[in-house]
Amino acid sequence: METNDMFLQFEEDLDNIARGSSSVGDNTAGSSSQQTTPTPRSRAQSRLLELEHHVAINGRIPMTIAPGAEKPISPHAVRFSQAIGVCVRKTFPVRCLNWTDVGREYIEVVKGDLQRLFVLDFNDQAMNRFVEHQMLTTFKEFRADCHRHFKKYSDPEEARANPPNALVGRDEDWHFLCDHYISHAFQEQSRTNKAARQKQPYNHSSGSKSFLQRQYELTERRGQPVDRVELFRETHVRAGTFVSQAAKDAHNQMLEFQSQPTPEGSQPLSEDEICDQVLGRRPGYSKGLGWGPKPKACRTASASSWSTSSSQSTQKEIELQAKLHEALERIEVQDRNHQA
């Protein structure tokens, strides 16, 4: 099987997982069809085995991050992220309620699995940050998938009796999660998150591709650089129409900033500065770019403009970013879609 064909099928199976029809699909007792039909999750695991077989014959697939970037940009970038997801789901303990509870030994196991499939340099800080952040994202998504499955049942006892496909045969783990879902602390947190989701102005139309990957592909196709303002439009338009009025208003505001005359003696706002003013900022995250480059804001003496520079991250910073991410999640839901 050719690498691209295999990856396309692998991606399709994993997209089914992302839509919630896989590892957290129904597992009602007595269903004969589910006893004989492989679940999308089991098919994804099978595709992973096929990928391993391909690698054994043809060698590992190179995956690098260009200097100055924070994400891999290649035809296989999406599949690489999804492979991380499969490895995380089969390795991380279900009973870890927070990312900080996941032991380093499990993270290293996932990295080892990935290195059997891809050529990776974890001495590269950017690659290390990306892979661990992708692990964090998958960890949270899997837990959210399990909660969605739990909410299908009005009776908690019925939910306990019907674990998601990913946890079949692991009753203790599923019962642990069920007890967690009905706890007072979790119920309070769910109400907070629901209120935050209602305040979210819009989603994007980029699917599972990172914004940086989209930016790279657009630049390659057009033969000229694509700035953040144009990238915002490309990632928030579907079938020629903005995904929401809020997204359209934000883009129009960016265009207004671009068209304003520059006062004498001052510098015009860059596209990064315009996006920061319209979309806002938060630590470790560039709105309109997604997780990736972490611009450092600093004021200049001559004007109230922002400048950006790349920052190096240590292992301690990665851990602190994970804690910060969990805290921010209480008031703002991460803007991610798996399907356009």
* Whether residue 48 has pLDDT greater than 50: yes
| Top-confidence residue, 4 or 52 | 52
Backbone angles phi, psi at 45, to 5 degrees: -65, -40
Highest mean pLDDT among 38-52, 55-69, 188-202: 55-69
In a domain, 51, yes or no: yes
Containing structural domain, residue 324? 211-328
Can you tell me the distance from the alpha carbon of 58 to that of 52, in angstroms, rounded to the nearest whole number?
A: 10
Tally of CA atoms within 13 A in the half-sphere of 218 that contains its CB: 18
- Residues 230 and 83 occupy one common structural domain: no
Predicted confidence at residue 312, as pLDDT, reads 40
Q: What amino acid occupies position 140? A: K
* Whether residue 172 has pLDDT greater than 90: yes
Band of residue 154 on the pLDDT scale cut at 50, 70, 90: very high
Q: pLDDT tens digits for 265-279?
A: 788 888 878 887 887
Burial class (CB in 10 A: 0-12, 13-18, 19+), 50: middle
Pairing verdict, β 118-119 and 61-62:
parallel
- Residues 122 and 246 occupy one common structural domain: no
Highest mean pLDDT among 29-33, 157-161, 315-319: 157-161
* Whether residue 1 has pLDDT greater than 70: no
Question: What DSSP assignment string belongs to 245-280?
Answer: HHHHHHHHHHHHHHHSPPPTTSPPPPHHHHHHHHH-
Can you tell me the distance from the alpha carbon of 228 to that of 306, in angstroms, rounded to the nearest whole number?
A: 15
- Residues 157 and 286 occupy one common structural domain: no
Predicted confidence at residue 232, as pLDDT, reads 83
Domain end among 182, 197, 229: 182
- Residues 128 and 250 occupy one common structural domain: no
Predicted confidence at residue 306, as pLDDT, reads 31
In a domain, 199, yes or no: no
Place of tokens 């496909």: 165
- Residues 41 and 148 occupy one common structural domain: yes
In a domain, 117, yes or no: yes
Q: pLDDT tens digits for 118-138?
A: 999 999 988 998 999 889 888
Structurally, the chain folds into a number of domains equal to: 2
In a domain, 187, yes or no: no
- Residues 105 and 229 occupy one common structural domain: no
Q: Are 283 and 276 in contact (CB under 8 A)?
A: no
Backbone angles phi, psi at 2, to 5 degrees: -65, 150
* Whether residue 336 has pLDDT greater than 60: no
In a domain, 192, yes or no: no
In a domain, 191, yes or no: no
* Whether residue 228 has pLDDT greater than 70: yes
- Residues 302 and 217 occupy one common structural domain: yes
Q: Are 293 and 286 in contact (CB under 8 A)?
A: yes
Domain end among 165, 182, 199: 182
* Whether residue 155 has pLDDT greater than 90: yes
What interhelical angle do 77-91 and 125-150 show, nearest 10? 60
Q: What is the mean pLDDT of residues 323-332?
A: 48
- Residues 286 and 239 occupy one common structural domain: yes
Burial class (CB in 10 A: 0-12, 13-18, 19+), 112: exposed
Contacts of 131 (CB under 8 A, 6+ apart): 84, 111, 114, 120, 122
* Whether residue 250 has pLDDT greater than 60: yes
Mean pLDDT of the chain: 72
In a domain, 200, yes or no: no
Per DSSP, the three-state class of 118 is strand
Structure tokens at 239: 């079938």
Backbone angles phi, psi at 237, to 5 degrees: -120, 135
- Residues 98 and 231 occupy one common structural domain: no
Task: Output the pTM of the full model.
Answer: 0.55
- Residues 26 and 89 occupy one common structural domain: yes
Can you tell me the distance from the alpha carbon of 89 to that of 34, in angstroms, rounded to the nearest whole number?
A: 21
In a domain, 197, yes or no: no
Predicted confidence at residue 150, as pLDDT, reads 95
Scored b (16 or more CB within 10 A) or e, 146-177 reads beebbeeeeeeeebbbbbbbbbeeeeebbeeb
Domain end among 140, 167, 182: 182
- Residues 163 and 219 occupy one common structural domain: no
Q: pLDDT tens digits for 196-224?
A: 666 666 666 666 566 766 777 787 788 88
Band of residue 10 on the pLDDT scale cut at 50, 70, 90: very low
Q: pLDDT tens digits for 174-201?
A: 999 999 999 999 888 888 877 766 666 6
* Whether residue 293 has pLDDT greater than 70: no
Predicted confidence at residue 159, as pLDDT, reads 95
Band of residue 323 on the pLDDT scale cut at 50, 70, 90: low
Conformation bin of residue 169: beta by default, left when phi > 0, alpha when psi is -120 to 50: left
- Residues 157 and 287 occupy one common structural domain: no
